[in-house]
């Protein structure tokens, strides 16, 4: 199993983390974000894996040398389908898994340095985004765990 450690050590203080709650799958959200902001986010070859589970969370990256910005979009939750036993009413059931359980309302995490309020409003304007907000102070320790 491939594991990927996130390492942001030098950028932890400069890095802004935005929590996004949306009904869009991560790849459609990234497509809309690329189109809206003129970015070129692409899916990383290595996903973030939790050692306790066999679930992987997608990571999208873009490094803009001109603007000196690094963008990353991480899935915070995934839904896995499991087959049930013969005695069950349903043949399959769905279960949600979280990268950061304390952020269960956030479907995606957008990490970028130098985030402005104008860019935050543009992210909020993406169709089917329910809410978009900066990482709450009470869970600011998540920034330290997000090391690329």
Does residue 3 form part of some domain?
no
Residue 7 predicted with pLDDT over 60: no
83-139 pLDDT, tens digit each: 777 777 777 778 888 999 999 999 999 999 989 999 999 999 999 999 999 999 898
Could you tell me if residue 107 is inside a domain?
yes
| Cα separations in angstroms, 109 against 17, 19, 88, 93 | 7, 5, 35, 26
Structural domain of 98: 9-80+91-145
Within-domain flag for 129? yes
Most confident residue range from 7-11, 116-120, 140-144: 116-120
Whether the Cβ atoms of residue 142 and residue 100 lie closer than 8 Å to each other: yes
Q: How many domains in the chain?
A: 1
Rounded CA-CA distance 102/147 in Å is: 18
> CATH code at 111?
3.30.310
Cβ atoms 69, 113 nearer than 8 A:
yes
Residue 1 domain-assigned?
Answer: no
Residue 140 CA to residue 33 CA, distance in Å, equals 24
Dump pLDDT digits (tens) for 46-71: 888 776 667 889 999 999 888 788 99
């Amino acid at each position: 199993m491939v594991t990927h450690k996130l390492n942001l050590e030098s950028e932890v203080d400069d890095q802004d983390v935005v929590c996004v709650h949306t009904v869009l799958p991560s790849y459609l959200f990234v497509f809309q974000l690329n189109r809206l902001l003129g970015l070129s986010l692409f899916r990383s070859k290595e996903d973030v894996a939790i050692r306790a589970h066999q679930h992987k969370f997608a990571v999208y990256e873009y490094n803009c040398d001109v603007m000196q910005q690094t963008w990353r979009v991480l899935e915070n939750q995934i839904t896995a389908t499991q087959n049930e036993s013969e005695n069950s009413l349903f043949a399959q059931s769905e279960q949600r898994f979280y990268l950061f359980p304390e952020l269960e309302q956030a479907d995606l995490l957008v990490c970028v340095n130098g985030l402005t309020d104008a860019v935050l409003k543009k992210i909020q304007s993406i169709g089917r985004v329910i809410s978009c907000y900066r990482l709450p102070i009470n869970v600011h320790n998540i920034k330290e765990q997000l090391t690329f």
